[in-house]
Structure 1
Amino acid sequence: MRVFLIFITMFFLACSSQNKDWQALENLQPNEGVSYVFEGKVGSKEYDLYVEILKIKENVYSVGAKFSQFEGFFEGFMDENKSFTLENLYLPQSFQGNFYFDDDILGLKAKLDTQGLIFDMDLKLSDKKLNQLHFIKQDFEQETFINGEKLSFHRQDNFIFIPYSTKLEKEAVSKLNTNLSFNVSNLQELRQLAQKEQEDFFKEQGFSNESNVEFINDHKLYFSDDKIALFLVNQYEYLGGNHGLSFIGSRIFSLESGEELSNSTKDLFKDTQDEIFLEFILRSLDEKYGYDLNYDNFELTPTFFVDEEGLELVWQPYELASYAMGHINLRLGFKELKPFINEKSPLAYLFE
């Protein structure tokens, strides 16, 4: 009998261990989500895959994904069987598959279709220090009538919470959560504080422009290794007029201390006014865009991203081109940028 009880206990402990990475998702409420970092082979090459899963309602989830070394984002849905189909928003690519458990590790198997070329994918949850985080997507809406016209106010935020179960030091997690999400201890507390911030923002902003108002503030994990985590910040603002304005930026954090690092090219490069450096940037822009850009009073953008392959510079709408052209981006390799990097930058190690 005792042996039987020990066996049963071990069985339940194993099941608990097997499901610990998925329980975070199973226990979510609507508009709560989990981000995972997977790693493994796509065809014969190694990739990281950043996956964001949002619970919409019972057994219905939206899924977003970004490959390292791939351009664009994939989006789609997952069903109750943990199966999904995702489409690239910018390129003719898609992949479909499902999540599974193997030796207590969360995995993902799928087939990637790139213009008829099919690649098998077999990825496992990464062993990076930050391989999982939680988030909530929260909407705040109000309506009013001004001069007989119905106006709406809408704000949507994506608030991030780093669980203390990661491999990071607790002090670093606490600092990260202070910077990202009010230093809360759970998603329920995060939702309460997020709601208060949105309400306070509405009291301050309201319908002061006497027009429809929309604000969107979205954070996504874009890149992480054992030293830093970089989040993509996507913001949109409409305060009346023909169209709104969008902004893309980054926030970078040390995973050792949790401190926020500089996200400006002025601190990353030795001299952003260096003629040789600027000539290299302008030549690279011409190779990609031809002569469709406006270089009058040209300045290096402060905005940049890094990933496993290199660095991406981003100019906001109107900085180099018309609003219709959107954001101007330029990807460059680490090696070709190394001569221009500030050796004192905490990101200098990426360019070695």
Structure 2
Amino acid sequence: MSLFLTIRNIGLGICLGLAFVACGDSKDSESTAIEIEKLEKQAPQARDSHYVRELLGIEKETSIFYLLKGKVGGKEQIGYLLIEEHKPIAGIESDTEEIVIDSDDGEDSQPLPLYVYIVLPNVWNEELDHYEFLSIPIDSQKLFITKDEKGRLKISGEWKSELGSEFNNKDWEQKSRMKGKTFIFTQDDTMPLREVSFVNVKETQSLENPTQEDLPISFNSSYTRPIILASKNPMLDSKVLEKLNEQFAEGAKDTSELANKLALLTQKDFKKFQAEKYIVDTEYVNSYGVEFIDSRILSLQVFNYIYGGGAHGVYSTEMESYSLETGERLSNDIGDLLRLDGTNKDALLQILTQKLETPFYKELLFDEVLPLKALPHNFFITSQGIHFLWRLYEIAPYVAGEIDVMVGFEELKPFVNPNSPYAYLFGL
């Protein structure tokens, strides 16, 4: 699952509250806290959505991913940061004043508040079954965002969470290994790709219901696509950048052009909906998120959801990976990543079976699924290993969702195809 999509799903509108406190006795932690205090004095207004929008150039209906480097609790860490608009959800309490905004009121409507999500892709937490993360509304006044003298984003605070529900918050409080540690990150300007913008466009229509006049039919189509801007990524080859945008950004050159192209896609969906004369509520979602990024590869998660009546919709997630050296899309065929002759395949099936036999997974699966007889078709590249993903109904009922199992690089190394573009991640 996408790092950021998974976080959002934990509480359906996460609001993580941060507060500045002293953390630990290490000299590194103390120096980090001192640096944060200096930054606060320089720009105390850097805790406001409006200020951050102006500072970073965040437009309505857009979000921005940043690659970070810095420290958490005095220890060096890589960070993935997503800053995006977020509409408060009814019934979810937050430390911030509740703001009810209709994002469909037109161009003059008030921008939505901004939220921050940070993931530590090198810190897997077994108890959380996720990488260490935090999330916070900028308007909580408990997060600090500014730029340094080189124009690089800086973000700081304390690792502390409030997850939109008392149950989820207590679970995080008990299991997070980073809880209470001071952090400070700077945008990593040594990488060819350091910033990715995302544009969201949504088409919403309400139609007359021919069978129930008092119950109109709703139609929703939503697209969230990435685009790489040359001005934000000066170290990325221009031809590579153009090739990447041709593949996932409809060939757009900027966010406005991408928004226009996505609007055409939503309109096309609506025309199809009208032509087929559906008489049920219908929704389409196509959304991208960053899964992994280094100097050589950008790996994206693609989430698709379709609802056309019935008890629930159907969704799927897939990986799209691209070379940052050539701009080419890389294979997501598991047979290209791993050498799957008879012996290797059996050994890998045994490894995955053992991981699924743990109580966490086993109670979710269909009867007689184990031992596994076939490998999943989906996998995701992450900084810690490979995530194998089984689709809905493949080995478990709908209520269990897609089943995701991670296997570390070292454990998979004997199976890796040395000619795979991912082989370097395994030390080959």
Match of 1:222 in 2: 291
Once the two structures are superposed, the pairs formed by residues 182-201 of structure 1 within 5 Å of their partners are: 182-201=250-269
Q: Deviations over 1:152-181 (max 9, x none)?
A: 110111021101131210000000000011
2:249 and 2:258 in contact (8 A); partners too:
yes
Residues 298-307 or 131-140, more deviating: 298-307
1:111 and 1:119 in contact (8 A); partners too:
yes
1:29 and 1:55 in contact (8 A); partners too:
no
| Deviation of 1:266 (Å) | 2.1
Q: 1:162 to 1:212 in 2, by over 3 A?
A: same
1:63 and 1:77 in contact (8 A); partners too:
yes
Once the two structures are superposed, the pairs formed by residues 143-292 of structure 1 within 5 Å of their partners are: 143-145=206-208, 146-148=210-212, 149-165=215-231, 166=233, 167-206=235-274, 208-271=277-340, 274-287=345-358, 288-290=360-362, 292=364
Which residue identity is paired with 2:237? E
Q: 1:40 aligns with which of 66, 70, 84?
A: 70
| Deviation of 1:137 (Å) | 1.1
- CA–CA distance in structure 2, aligned partners of residues 43 and 332 of structure 1: 27
| 1:63 and 2:116 aligned | yes
Q: 2:153 aligns with which of 88, 106, 111?
A: 106
- CA–CA distance in structure 2, aligned partners of residues 278 and 32 of structure 1: 41
Which residue identity is paired with 1:47? Q
Which residue identity is paired with 1:118? G
Aligned pair count reads 317
Residues 145-154 or 214-223, more deviating: 145-154
TM-score, length-scaled by structure 2: 0.69
Q: 1:59 to 1:289 in 2, by over 3 A?
A: closer
- CA–CA distance in structure 1, aligned partners of residues 258 and 229 of structure 2: 12
Match of 2:164 in 1: none
SS at match of 2:287: strand
Which residue identity is paired with 1:147? T
Q: 1:31 aligns with which of 53, 61, 75?
A: 61
- CA–CA distance in structure 2, aligned partners of residues 142 and 153 of structure 1: 5
SS at match of 1:115: helix
| 1:137 and 2:200 aligned | yes
| Deviation of 1:278 (Å) | 1.1
| Deviation of 1:131 (Å) | 0.9
TM-score, length-scaled by structure 1: 0.83
Match of 1:338 in 2: 413
Which residue identity is paired with 1:111? E
| 1:314 and 2:376 aligned | no
Instruction: Tell me how large the CA RMSD over aligned residues is.
Output: 2.3
Residues 27-36 or 244-253, more deviating: 27-36
2:334 and 2:377 in contact (8 A); partners too:
yes
- CA–CA distance in structure 2, aligned partners of residues 270 and 317 of structure 1: 26
1:266 and 1:302 in contact (8 A); partners too:
no
- CA–CA distance in structure 2, aligned partners of residues 236 and 25 of structure 1: 34
1:251 and 1:263 in contact (8 A); partners too:
yes
Match of 1:115 in 2: 173
1:28 and 1:55 in contact (8 A); partners too:
no
2:289 and 2:301 in contact (8 A); partners too:
yes
Q: 1:326 to 1:272 in 2, by over 3 A?
A: farther
More strand, by proportion: 1
2:134 and 2:159 in contact (8 A); partners too:
no
Q: 1:74 to 1:158 in 2, by over 3 A?
A: farther
Q: Which runs of 5+ in 1 are unaligned?
A: 1-21, 85-95
1:272 and 1:278 in contact (8 A); partners too:
no
Which residue identity is paired with 1:64? Y
Match of 1:6 in 2: none
- CA–CA distance in structure 2, aligned partners of residues 98 and 210 of structure 1: 49
- CA–CA distance in structure 2, aligned partners of residues 264 and 25 of structure 1: 41
Match of 1:17 in 2: none
Which residue identity is paired with 1:299? A
Match of 2:30 in 1: none
| Deviation of 1:316 (Å) | 1.6
Match of 2:373 in 1: 298
- CA–CA distance in structure 2, aligned partners of residues 272 and 250 of structure 1: 24
- CA–CA distance in structure 1, aligned partners of residues 405 and 74 of structure 2: 27
Residues 246-255 or 294-303, more deviating: 294-303
Q: 1:322 to 1:259 in 2, by over 3 A?
A: same
| Deviation of 1:48 (Å) | 2.2
| Deviation of 1:27 (Å) | 3.3
| Deviation of 1:272 (Å) | 7.1
Q: 1:223 to 1:120 in 2, by over 3 A?
A: same
Question: Could you say which structure has the greater relative contact order, defined with CA pairs below 8 angstroms and 6 or more residues apart?
Answer: 2
